[in-house]
Structure 1
Amino acid sequence: MKKLFLLLIIVFISCNSEQPTQFSTDAYKEMLIGLDDSKITLREVLYNYKGKKIFIDVWASWCKDCIVGVPKVKELQKEFPGVVFLFLSVDRSNPSWKRAIKRYNLKGVHYNLPEGMKDGKFVDFINLNWIPRYMVIDETGEITLFKATNAADKKIKEVLKKIK
């Protein structure tokens, strides 16, 4: 009986591990705030970098693990200079978010998810329950890495090295 229960759990987990390759329509419509306080949808941001590989870093200024991962993200930026580094902050305070970008000298494209970590179509779509969260979008717009929570995860480099 225990073996059957264990088998059912394994099957259930493996069935639910399917990773999406496209954002949902609702996630694409998520409104982001730019450094200049402008508003833009996720779809528009991604469209601006069509044909390029995009590394997404979902983070917050108050997140210790996010800050610990910054040096590794900077190493990735040096190793993959052709990749767009898109930082999506879940800070609810724009001044804190902007100060952290300067403090940690984060180079890349920056937007804020104004509804924070618990609300919003994008965070719902990616089932955001931990930050940092890293994703990779390939040159064709497909999500090739849906979930990594450590900037040193070997899967990140694997998908960044792949050429479409």
Structure 2
Amino acid sequence: MNYLIILLFSIFSCNTEVPTQFSTEALNDTFITLNGENITFKEILETHKGKTIVIDIWASWCKDCIKGMPKVKTLQSEYKDVVYMFLSLDKSQEAWKKGIEKYNVDGTHYFMQSGWKGAFGKFVNLDWIPRYMVINKAGNIELFKAIKADDIKLIQAIKK
């Protein structure tokens, strides 16, 4: 009987360890800037070195993403010294740029050309958008996953 309990526990327990660093593959994944230039995720992070970064993975076609934008704007007004980085999963660069304008999305913007199944998407285990992450001033992943911009864990991670 004890063996059965141990076996069931080992089958149904999941690894709750979340990464604090991006994988080499995720860092080398290529994004597109608003100017149409290719840039690696590593280069994007280096641009904001020493700052807290809130990453918002979104798309202009995503109803939950758009519904969450007012909450993001509230964060931006309350935590002004934070970098707000928007990584788009739009179907085209044109749709992405129109979405930024239409919804008045303020922050730094990159197009995820590798999409959901690219190296970055796989690393963050992308299964839903919007998806929020927080990178601390030391460059470590402070918060790996939140799906609401008013999640208390997201706010706590920003404050650290």
Amino acid at match of 1:97: W
User: Shift of residue 17 of structure 1?
Assistant: 1.3
Amino acid at match of 1:8: F
Aligned to 1:85: 84
Cα distance per residue 1:96-124 (max 9 Å; x no partner): 1100100110000000001222x210000
Listed as ranges, the gaps of 5+ residues in structure 1 are: none
Listed as ranges, the matches of 1:22-37 within 5 Å are: 22-37=21-36
CA contact 1:92–1:115 (8 Å) conserved in 2: no
Q: How many residues align?
A: 158
User: Shift of residue 91 of structure 1?
Assistant: 1.2
Listed as ranges, the matches of 1:1-164 within 5 Å are: 4=5, 8=9, 12-13=13-14, 16-117=15-116, 119-162=117-160
Query: Could you say what the CA RMSD is over the residues aligned between the two structures, in angstroms?
Result: 1.7
Listed as ranges, the gaps of 5+ residues in structure 2 are: none
Take 2:68 and 2:110, find their aligned partners in 1: how far apart are those partners? 18
Amino acid at match of 1:67: I
Take 1:98 and 1:17, find their aligned partners in 2: how far apart are those partners? 36
Take 1:150 and 1:96, find their aligned partners in 2: how far apart are those partners? 23
User: Shift of residue 92 of structure 1?
Assistant: 2.3
Take 1:61 and 1:133, find their aligned partners in 2: how far apart are those partners? 14
Take 2:8 and 2:153, find their aligned partners in 1: how far apart are those partners? 27
Take 1:20 and 1:5, find their aligned partners in 2: how far apart are those partners? 26
- TM-score normalised to structure 2 length: 0.93
SS in 1 for 2:85: strand
Take 1:78 and 1:44, find their aligned partners in 2: how far apart are those partners? 27
SS in 2 for 1:155: helix
Take 2:10 and 2:130, find their aligned partners in 1: how far apart are those partners? 27
SS in 1 for 2:13: helix
User: Shift of residue 151 of structure 1?
Assistant: 1.0
CA contact 1:148–1:156 (8 Å) conserved in 2: yes
Take 2:138 and 2:61, find their aligned partners in 1: how far apart are those partners? 33
User: Shift of residue 4 of structure 1?
Assistant: 3.0
